[in-house]
Structure 1
Amino acid sequence: MESAGGLTRPVPQVSALTRPFWEGCRRGVLLVQRCCSCSGHVFAPQDFCRSCQSPDLEWVESSGEGELVTYTTIWRPQTPAFEVPYVVAVVALTEGYEMLTNLVDAEPGEIRVGAKVQVVFRDVAPDVTLPCFTVVSA
């Protein structure tokens, strides 16, 4: 998929470990690993639980609801394939894990730390859909 100036936007590389996550995104479902031993949620995808080191993880659906922890607005992109401005954010999901993502459909000057957010999905390549977040109106 082309972006600014007809340049190809870099996309994540799918691996055997991350495949369930990316397949969920293609279906419009945010998946996260949950530890079968301690019930902790694990993101980014790992081979073991970060809390108890158990290798017994399962994929479960996340609510996709959370709160904006921090963000930055990018005005000078790493590559011209990205249209500016865009917002890179850390979101704390209600399940207790954090995700680095993009905040979309919001004016940079109106974004506030602590805002309630909800996942939305954006197709960025024929076979890649990214989970992004948007501010939920109060």
Structure 2
Amino acid sequence: MTDYTISHPSPGAAVIAVTGTLNVVSARGFREAIGDAVDRAPGQRVVVDLAGVPTIDSSGLGALIGGLKAARAAGGDLRIAAANQQVITVLELTNLNRVLQPYPSVADGLGDAAGGPVAAESATAAGSAR
């Protein structure tokens, strides 16, 4: 099972920490988690923390690109952070690293949007909130 934890380190930012594989099984729930983060605060920077993601397939990539489009349509941005070498290799092979530049850490991905209190909520691959 793939889990998503959404935190809001500042009014202008959201972090989605993903734990588990991003694939055809989990992509729908992942898209919903990104959509929830974008809908709650349009115009914010959404950073997807991939430290807990061992592998990603084309469905996971599609969810990231869909999330990027949704975030930008709402006046914000989506960034990825802490990806392992397998994920980075997939991004490079598909040339998506040109659109989704991987940041070494969540703090780097947040950039000037970092700071402030953190509120968190969790969701599963099925997209249910806890």
TM-score by length of 2: 0.25
Higher helix share: 2
Higher strand share: 1
Greater relative contact order: 1 or 2 (C-alpha under 8 angstroms, separation 6 or more)?
2
TM-score by length of 1: 0.24
